[in-house]
A and B are shown apart, each in its own frame.
Chain A
């Protein structure tokens, strides 16, 4: 395990260094001073408590979606439906939260966590069923479920739930709030980072434990590694494929916790803002390892926050291009390493 973390760590450090190099190349190409940009990045993102807090906030969402993708990929299924699963989980959680105004926090928060996972899992139910029963390719089905989730939640918010002149629902009862980090550490005051980060980190550990330390997790990995061998050894492959997609959906469904319970306390149209898709990239960079996901999520969050913080100096788009460039770099390097291994 220690060796694994070490190799993951080295790997993500390399990815970070490479993306920095690409960034600086881009900056020079735009005719800006790379030293200035670097200094700004450090001071506005890493050294500014607000910047750091926002980065950790983004990291949190990406850990959830990254874990969802990593779990599915590790087990041989390409779930690209995290985006839709985030909406489904978030919406169901909000609806349940609004319907139960009187519950105390100790009951309400665990309940809402479970409900959000349920919502995400529910959204993967159909793709999982079609995969298991009909062999329908999960890329197509989860992609379709993304469109449906976005359209459906948009409609439901506007038709039933929205506060007039906004695109969001009413706020959840106060008991449903997860504490902001600012409430404990003054440095983070004003930023959105909240206790969901701890939930995400615990979840990363739990996913690792599940996959590598439980018989069921072993089975799922075996299905991913070679379904025929798993079948020959008595593993019910179809039902496991179903389970993998639903579990992955449940992880993605939890991502809404960060925005809804931790930050805004309401469901807003389009709140996931493609973080579900970015989860795919996070999982790729993390080589589908839960520990790697934490660091890869941090890397992508840093890039995204730097894009915001430096918006006045260099165009945001450069950072968006950079995120894609990172993926290219990673894919190329992985293939290289794969050849040698």
Chain B
């Protein structure tokens, strides 16, 4: 039976040693639509997309493009067939410029003397045509995450892709950047492209997509037109019968006297090109308080986190009630030993504690006991301490980092984007654990680009803009409008 669908994946099976990542998945995408694939972390979305893109070979199943069966041995073949993919983790050459990155591997002109002028004009034409704002001459190393993503999209378009796969593209974006991305995607759709949009944020899916396929534990559990479904229905499909109880901030109170957990006095941090990454930051966090830090990415949040954790030289004074526990913004780069087993990742930073070691030996039994406790407390899946961190899904990797840091019973916690790229279930669990730490008297500095998250958890919210503190508001007085204006650098309190 010939089908008119742009893409049809049928009965896809992919087994890994410990899990079946895809277990008979069907996915049919009509031409010229934006089709969402949603599911919790570990549901098998990325695997399915990598199969379509020729990066992973399926054990069973077939792929049809416009009715013709295909079989890709490598991404190169998928690209030749007009499929492009923007990965969850970007793959750019940082010292090169934007246009160099875009044309890399397919430079115009002859082999030895490629035509830079043509490359530049080609890239700016593409960026104008689809309204993708990025300077072709800028160096990738200097771009924000949102801009890097635009470069990835340009790369895919430059290679003539008519089908775009975006794997959790909004996980790293601010609300404003998300809107821009959606506008771009809508333009692409109007130009006839087919788009596969991977996400687990239902709000976005409902706003952007035409149809949605829901995956759970490696299987397709539903396919709906967005117009005919609701967020509640999709959430139910995604998580099955599992209850998601978002913990309420008001249920968690720290009753003891509110001493100061963290105090910053006129803290400055030097940035690139002689500028200041942080300028005269003064703030304090009481024990049992969560202070949120909002702001558009790249306005000093990273430097703030690192200075507080003592990882960056600074001027001014920082007083902490104890060593700060740290949930870094990029778990792959700063949080995990990806090639090491889960238990070693849980041990990292605690390996010098009496509980786990003497100078001459590690107490294997105590470490495993602690690891198993963490596994059950954080519902780690699979509950396998020997599995390498890299083989866990993003949400479970984050649980390892959060679990490790909170297990230190810290007096001060710096949490940078703790639920970025994490599914609803895991995010709720992480929120709950952070609130519990607060109730136990921990002072929390919560940096996030997700205003909903900040409004739900924080006692007070501060806004960083261009390295300066724009103001601090108690939660009761915080509203999206004021915060949004501060984030744009508009008016100072």
Contact = CB atoms under 8 A, between A and B. Distances in A.
B19 interface: no
A43 interface: no
If over half of B's interface residues share one DSSP class (helix, strand or loop), that class is named, otherwise mixed; here it is loop
Interface stretch (B62-70, B142-150, B354-362, B459-467): B354-362
A164 interface: no
Interface string A173-204: 00000000000000000000000000000000
A233 B360 CA distance: 20
Contacts of A218: 344, 347, 351, 362
B340 A225 contact: yes
Interface stretch (B187-195, B329-337, B480-488): B329-337
A232 B337 contact: no
Contact of A214 (B309, B333, B335, B359): B359
B357 A225 contact: no
A226 B360 CA distance: 23
B361 A222 contact: no
Contacts, number: 59
Contact of A225 (B333, B337, B364): B337
A232 B335 contact: yes
B349 interface: yes
Given A226-B337, A229-B334, A215 B359 contact: yes
Interface size grouping (class) on chain A:
10 to 19
Interface in B334-350: 334-340, 344, 347-349
Interface size grouping (class) on chain B:
20 to 34
A230 B348 contact: yes
A149 B338 CA distance: 38
Contacts of B333: 226, 228-229
A138 interface: no
A226 B349 contact: no
B338 A225 contact: yes
Interface string B294-329: 000000000000000101000000000001001010
Most chain A beta-carbon neighbours within 10 Å: one of B328, B337, B362: B337
B351 A215 contact: yes
A234 B362 contact: no
Contacts of B128: none
A232 B334 contact: yes
B89 interface: no
Given A213-B362, A215-B351, A234-B323, A228 B340 contact: no
B231 interface: no
A229 B344 CA distance: 12
A233 B348 contact: yes
Given A222-B337, A234-B323, A229 B359 contact: no
Interface string B359-374: 1111010000000000
A268 interface: no
A240 to B, nearest CB: 13
Nearest to B357: A215
A229 B311 CA distance: 11
Given A215-B351, A215-B357, A218-B347, A229 B336 contact: yes
A310 B339 CA distance: 43
Contacts of B349: 232-235
A148 to B, nearest CB: 33
B248 interface: no
Contacts of A225: 337-340
Given A215-B352, A222-B337, A232 B311 contact: yes
Given A222-B348, A225-B337, A232 B326 contact: yes
A219 interface: yes
Contacts of A216: 359
Given A215-B357, A222-B348, A234-B349, A229 B362 contact: no
A231 interface: yes
A228 B334 CA distance: 5
27 contacts: A213-B361, A213-B362, A213-B364, A214-B359, A214-B360, A214-B362, A215-B352, A221-B340, A222-B344, A222-B348, A225-B337, A225-B338, A225-B339, A226-B333, A226-B334, A226-B337, A229-B334, A229-B335, A229-B337, A229-B348, A231-B334, A232-B309, A232-B311, A232-B326, A232-B335, A232-B349, A234-B323
Interface of B: 309, 311, 323, 326, 328, 333-340, 344, 347-349, 351-352, 356-357, 359-362, 364
Given A225-B337, A225-B340, A228-B334, 7 more contacts: A215-B352, A219-B351, A221-B340, A226-B333, A226-B334, A229-B334, A232-B334
